[in-house]
Amino acid sequence: MSFQGVNPQSATAPRPPGASMELADILAILRARLGLICRVAASVIAIAVVVVLLLPTRYSSSSVVMIDPRKNTVADLSAVLSALPTDPASLQNQIQLLQSRDLAAEVIAKLKLYDDPEFNAALARPGLLSLLDPRRWFGHGDNGVADGARRDAIIDAFLGHLSADALGLSTTITVTFTSRDPEKAALIADTVAQTYVDDQLNAKLHASETTSAWLTQRIRDLASQVQQQEAAALTYRATHNLDSSAGGTSLIEQQLGGINGQIVLARADLSAKSAVYNQAQSMINRGNPASITQIIASPLMIQLRTQQADLIKQQAALAVTYGPKHPKRIAIETQMRDLDSKIGEEAARIVTGLANDVAVARAQLDSLQGSLHSTQHQAAGQDMVAVRLSALEAEAASTRKLYESFLARLNTIQDQEGLQYPDSRVISRAPVPSAPSSPPRMLIVLASIPVGLLLGCLVALAMVRFARAPRPIRPRTAMQPQMRSQLRPAPAVQYAPQPAPAFRAPPILAEVPGALAGGAADHVVDWPGAPFSRAVSGLLDRVCASMQDGRSRMVTVTSAQADAAGTTVALALARAASNAGMRTVLVDGHVTQPAISHLTGVAGPAGLMDVLRGSAPLNRALVRDPRSGALLLGSTRPPRDARAALAAPRTRELFAHLKGISDLVIVAAPPVLSAGETPFLTRLSDAVVMVARPEEGPTPPLNNALRALGEWRSPPVGMVLVR
């Protein structure tokens, strides 16, 4: 295998962005390009000065409006519109009203700002900044602009100069207007504030007028409706013969009440007469009719009792003088018997009269009950009539109540129309400003200094970041003169008991600066224009030159002594090849002390020895490099006998398979003189890259390492000098 120079464009490709460089590298780049940074900063400052000189001077003036939650309580009446609330959300609503387009249009019309060139762009004279506006380059003047669009443009320009903000936790709002004329700024700020206050009063008056008109029409409708409903109730009452004087009760209901009262009296009379009759009948049955009260009170009975008493007296007198057979006594006894018979007939007649009274009372009660049943039957048909009448009267009463309520509200609103006050007032008029508010020319110029310096630094770093890699160094067929003059075979006792065979000095493939710095392999991705990245790209060109036959190549990167530079160069070369679009596999040959995983921070679940032992498949051991598309085959578990594992036929098969699935296989081998597994890796390779420092020169370790590679019958060797 021969290392020959090729065109750099055959192996270079865009590099993806990554992390930043170290601080020392950034400072070195900025120090080297200090002139560029100063030029960029000076340009920015000059542009800022020109811009601030071209910007027009503007003045700002503010008027203060306070939301006053108090209201006039002279009439102590409720208003149509309630007072404005003073919570933060309501204040924001009022701010939006102050900045509304309708209010702006009203102020513009009031102050005739449609003819002001500051707001009407069609009337403004073109200045330098306006000439830089691309919209004016292909314009056709103001003839093609509609009146509505021109009006909207003027309102937009006006609102661009207007701002309104709440002052802390207070209920005041500051209205600020900016203009080129200080007097105009104060006038417009005051006009906006006063227009807002007037609009509030007009809104209240408009609401009162609208409400009054609506209430008037509604009262008229309700008055007509009340009249119709009350007339319908009266007509219904008259149609169904309902007595309005009795609270709406019908004649049938009155009859029911009278009959019920008569029935109660009749039942009481029947009960009394029945009791007297029953008592008289009981006395008669016991043979003592004289104890009956009605009999005792009878005039005839009194007369008969008197006659009976006289006869008894005569009988008693005759009984003393005459005997029982005396005619006088017999005559008196006959009279006594006749008198008793009359008394009995009179008692019977009185009892019969009591029975007749009971019968009459019962007949009267039955008659009243019959009348009650007939009247109740008639009243059943009158229930729906009464319900309908109640509904009509209730509807009429409800409508009348609503009518009276609206009428009272209308009178209240009409009384309040002369007592309307706005809920806000202007507490501070806008003064005429004496100093401009914008632009802050000195601040802009001072701010352009750090901005220019920062932009200059970014330009300098971008030039390094996206710089194109220069043409790689041409290969040399011999070592540098200072090294070639000093390179001579080392004594045989330092390497082997036999004299070392002669060997040719290997060619120097590349000189890689910065390979000894920490994280140098990341520069290939992050800073492709750095010297380290350009040197690695040149080394890749020489490797690719040997692949012109189309076959994959396996390159082993090693060093003479223990040094991390060899592993750094191997990782950087793999990343450069992957970024160039080549399928690359990087194998960690440090089987006893893994090195690649320490640099990349990535370790797979299995490693090289696991694949060789057959305990893990290859696809499980290969992991992706986080900074590029290269595949990494690391070392995880150190073997008991590394030499035996690498000398097995399975090792040759594995590397042959890796060459078949990739374009380039790179092996990061351990130092030649400090590890025994390096010869097994170099024999399988197509080329060997020896990494050395320039100060090493032809030292015995380097001589011994090169001699050892020759004795191992390794493939062609090339040297890479690092510093």
Q: What is the pLDDT of residues 40-66, one digit of tens each?
A: 999 999 999 988 888 888 889 999 988
Burial class of residue 193, CB neighbours in 10 A (0-12, 13-18, 19+) = buried
- Helix or strand holding residue 319 (H, E): helix 299-321
pLDDT at 468: 44
pLDDT at 126: 60
pLDDT at 46: 92
For residues 362-383, give the mean pLDDT: 75
Compute the Cα dihedral for 668, 673, 679, 685 and give only its sign: positive
Strand, helix or coil for residue 177: strand
When the pLDDT of each residue in the chain is averaged and rounded to a whole number, the result is 77
CATH superfamily membership of 509-722: P-loop containing nucleotide triphosphate hydrolases (3.40.50.300)
Percent of the chain scored above 70 by pLDDT? 77
Q: Other CB atoms closer than 10 Å to residue 71's CB: what's the count?
A: 12
pLDDT at 621 over 60: yes
pLDDT at 244: 52
Q: Which of 256-270, 482-496, 605-619 holds the top average pLDDT?
A: 605-619
Lowest mean pLDDT among 95-109, 350-364, 500-514: 500-514
Going by pLDDT thresholds of 50, 70 and 90, the confidence category of residue 103 is very high
What is the radius of gyration, based on Cα positions, of the chain?
65
**Where are the alpha helices (H) located in 12-111, listed in sequence order?**
23-32, 34-54, 88-98, 101-111
Q: What is the pLDDT of residues 433-464, one digit of tens each?
A: 888 887 788 888 899 999 999 998 988 888 76
pLDDT at 112 over 80: yes
pLDDT at 641: 81
Lowest mean pLDDT among 158-167, 359-368, 375-384: 375-384
The residue with greater pLDDT, 70 or 275, is 275
Closest CA to 368 of 258, 254, 259: 259
Going by pLDDT thresholds of 50, 70 and 90, the confidence category of residue 643 is confident
pLDDT at 514 over 50: yes
The residue with greater pLDDT, 345 or 495, is 345
Lowest mean pLDDT among 24-33, 132-141, 294-303: 132-141
Q: Which two tokens stand for residue 599?
A: 């640099």
Query: What is the C-alpha to C-alpha distance for residues 718 and 686, in angstroms, rounded to an integer?
Result: 12
pLDDT at 156 over 80: yes
Q: What is the pLDDT of residues 522-578, one digit of tens each?
A: 888 888 888 888 899 989 988 887 665 656 689 999 888 776 888 999 999 999 999
**DSSP state letter for 268:** H
Lowest mean pLDDT among 21-30, 276-285, 365-374, 499-508: 499-508
Residues contacting residue 162 through CB under 8 Å, at least 6 positions apart: 98, 99, 104, 175, 176, 177, 178, 188, 192
Q: What is the pLDDT of residues 165-201, one digit of tens each?
A: 988 778 889 999 999 889 999 999 999 999 998 888 8
pLDDT at 221 over 60: yes
Going by pLDDT thresholds of 50, 70 and 90, the confidence category of residue 219 is confident
The residue with greater pLDDT, 189 or 24, is 189
Q: Where are the domains of the chain?
A: 23-52+439-465, 58-68+82-197, 251-381, 509-722
Going by pLDDT thresholds of 50, 70 and 90, the confidence category of residue 580 is confident
Buried b (16+ CB within 10 A) or exposed e, 687-714: bbbbbbbeebbbbebbbbbbbbbbeeeb
pLDDT at 17 over 70: no
The residue with greater pLDDT, 365 or 243, is 365
Query: What is the C-alpha to C-alpha distance for residues 176 and 186, in angstroms, rounded to an integer?
Result: 9
pLDDT at 698: 66
Q: What is the pLDDT of residues 667-702, one digit of tens each?
A: 998 888 777 778 888 888 888 998 888 776 667 778
Percent of the chain scored above 90 by pLDDT? 13
pLDDT at 220 over 90: no
Closest CA to 251 of 243, 240, 239: 243
pLDDT at 13: 35
For residues 199-205, give the mean pLDDT: 82
Query: What is the C-alpha to C-alpha distance for residues 347 and 64, in angstroms, rounded to an integer?
Result: 118
Find out whether 94 and 67 touch, Cβ atoms under 8 Å. yes
Find out whether 407 and 217 touch, Cβ atoms under 8 Å. no
Residues paired with residue 174 on neighbouring β-strands, in sequence order: 64, 165
Strand, helix or coil for residue 206: helix
